[in-house]
Structure 1
Amino acid sequence: MNKQRGFLLLAVGLSGLLGLYVVLPFAEYVLAAVLLAYALHPLHVRLVPRLGPRLSPIALIAFAGTAIVLPFALVSAALVRDLRAIAAGESGLRIDEVEGTIAAYTGRSVDLQGLAMAGAETVFDATFNGLSELFSVALKATFGLALVLFLLYYLLKDGACFVAWLKEATPLPPDVTDRLYCRIDATTWAVIVGHIFVAFVQGMAGGIGLLIAGVPSPVFWTAVMVLLALLPLIGAFLVWAPAGVYLLLVGHPSAGLFLLVYGVVVVSMIDNYVRPIVIDSRASLNPGVVLVGVFGGIYSLGFVGLFVGPIVLGILGATLSTFTNDYSRL
């Protein structure tokens, strides 16, 4: 019996390593499909009685595709337009006045216009003009998107059965398994939904402040803030604070002070109060742990790592808590 068990464990380990080797090149797309299926599962449960288990995933995929692709296309068009304007020196930013103010106070001349144009041109060229790299990235993205859609359909259709099988296969008592999976579920839901919700609210709140203060290209900077707001503690601050200082330097002290006060009182308070309520309390994760998970996830998996990193650390915390509460005294 021991030999048979040892052989079976060896076979499971080897097959697991081979499976990881096969999946690893498309790991970010597989994980993206898992996250999307998890987020859409509550809607799938409600649609199944009306559409059936086969049509419900198709309807949700169509809905999610429209809800994600259409805003992304509109924002991307605005970003491209603004990048072109900045690269051409037509951003609407009064950089010459900022340079004059800096020179008056420091006695040194700084070519901010040239730096902004060069940076925007570099970003634009690297993103849109590298045809060979763009083709390879587009080809991989096409395969990845097809994989995401394929997996998303079957994860929505059969995901509940798979989770039930995982619970049965977990070699723990049923009560311990239920507590462990409940905590993992709370962590995952808080990171996915709460992360996106807080980032969107914070970015939009910052965008309203930019619009009221009269900062040029508010759509571009709002999109940047929404993305940066996914980084806890330091996200949207990187946009509204320099924007407030810019307004002060170009001779708009009231607008600059308004934006700085608005950023501290409104935008930062969203990060300080809404994020702990929506994410930290449910996920039982310290903001520092979330920040480490975000940066580590981005470094390892790209954009998907924004969510996978904190979830992985949350699962680690859940398993350690389960061990401490149920098995440390055995």
Structure 2
Amino acid sequence: MNRGQSFLLLLIAAVAVLSLLIVFPFIEYVIAAVILAYVLFPFHEFLAERLEPLAEGHGPITGRAVEMASAVTLILGSLVAVILPLVYISFVFIEDLTAIATGESDIDVAAIEARVVELTGEEFDIEGWLVTTGDVLLDTLFGGLSGVLTSVLRASLGLVLALFLVYYALMDGPGFVAWLRSMIPLPADVTDDLFEKVDATTRGVVIGHISVALLQAIIAGLGLWAVGIPNVVFWTFVMAILALLPLIGAFLVWGPAAAYLVVIDEVTAGILLAAYGLAVVSMVDNYARPIVIDQQAHLNPGVILVGVFGGIYSIGYTGLFVGPIVIGVLAATLETFREDYDAI
């Protein structure tokens, strides 16, 4: 390696580190944009093919314009179907959490405390516990009440950034993949094999997580509806988001709901909901998630679980996708090396 090559490698490393430092504050939004673009891209191709005949005969309308129309349509659809509901739920969550932390929630604390005394014979300061819990959650998630505004501003900037990234990923994704292929110093057949394995792993992890979360949320929502919990559609959507977290996701809704029913003297309904959650909803998570992801990504369920929790711990919520994908890419690379070079 001559002096010029050494200089270029050092320059690449330095610029890569600086780029990472610049992107890191919004890394979750960048990853979320990449994942959303990956999910939307097949629909983008399908929609662009359907729009192309409509553009024929209109001279100024080019293929690029058709792709732009398709990308914008899908982004607007995602905004309405996914992002706006997420923003609404986040707003309601922050509002309720702030009310709890300041002792101004609408929870009938007196009735709950009276019920606890009746059931256990012990007095329990529910209001104090709620305020303490609200303060801890606010400090952990947002850095306290003063950090809520900063978090909202950062989330708004991140959301705008993610939408633009999704647009450019849909428009120029194939070109980037082609450039990436050209940069990999491997024979074409080995590169194709590696990309196929990585694509299968990514598809399995992303689609597996989303499909299982939706299935679990719908099943849990039916249980909430059957026992008369109000706002079932809202709570089902919340569970669809929480169910992306394995093991504990949807339980954060149906568990407290079952306890609430017991507290308000609907003991039978509460017990039935708890039994339904343990016997049906939890089983969907424990069995369907590993089966669905393993069939697509060919990863052991234990490896998937480690990847999910490790990813969440390392980079946040989007890590539940990134962790298993990274481990899957490692497995795909080792498998490609074994198959194409017969060195293992």
Normalising by the smaller structure, the TM-score range is: 0.7 to 0.9
How far the C-alpha of 1:139 sits from its partner, in A, is 3.6
Q: Distance in 1 between matches of 2:114 and 2:314?
A: 41
Please, which moves more after superposition, 296-305 or 111-120?
111-120
Do residues 261 (structure 1) and 278 (structure 2) align?
no
1:240 aligned residue: 254
SS in 1 for 2:107: coil
How far the C-alpha of 1:8 sits from its partner, in A, is 4.3
Do residues 295 (structure 1) and 291 (structure 2) align?
no
1:24 aligned residue: 24
How far the C-alpha of 1:219 sits from its partner, in A, is 5.8
Counterparts of 1:165-176 in structure 2 under 5 Å? 165-176=179-190
Contact 1:231 1:291 in 2 (8 A): no
How far the C-alpha of 1:282 sits from its partner, in A, is 0.8
1:211 aligned residue: 225
1:144 aligned residue: 158
Give me the identity figure in percent: 49
> Match for 1:95 among 95, 112, 115?
112
What's the RMSD between the two structures over aligned residues? Answer: 3.4
The verdict on how the C-alpha distance between 1:286 and 1:233 changes in structure 2, with shifts beyond 3 A counting, is farther
1:273-312 alpha-carbon deviations (Å, 9 max, x no partner): 4323322221222333333323332233222223222222
Amino acid paired to 2:243: A
Please, which moves more after superposition, 131-140 or 226-235?
131-140
1:67-90 alpha-carbon deviations (Å, 9 max, x no partner): 223322443465467657865463
User: Any unmatched runs of 5+ in structure 2?
Assistant: 53-65
Count of residue correspondences: 327
How far the C-alpha of 1:184 sits from its partner, in A, is 1.3
1:7-35 alpha-carbon deviations (Å, 9 max, x no partner): 54444333333332332233222222211
How far the C-alpha of 1:313 sits from its partner, in A, is 2.0
Amino acid paired to 2:147: E
1:322 aligned residue: 336
Amino acid paired to 1:211: W
1:60 aligned residue: 74
Contact 1:297 1:308 in 2 (8 A): yes
1:310 aligned residue: 324
Contact 1:82 1:220 in 2 (8 A): no
1:41-84 alpha-carbon deviations (Å, 9 max, x no partner): 11111222316123222222222222223322443465467657
The verdict on how the C-alpha distance between 1:150 and 1:71 changes in structure 2, with shifts beyond 3 A counting, is closer
User: Any unmatched runs of 5+ in structure 1?
Assistant: none
Q: Distance in 2 between matches of 1:114 and 1:320?
A: 54
Do residues 70 (structure 1) and 81 (structure 2) align?
no
Q: Distance in 1 between matches of 2:130 and 2:120?
A: 17
How far the C-alpha of 1:220 sits from its partner, in A, is 6.3
1:179 aligned residue: 193
How far the C-alpha of 1:159 sits from its partner, in A, is 0.5
Q: Distance in 2 between matches of 1:121 and 1:18?
A: 36
SS in 1 for 2:318: helix
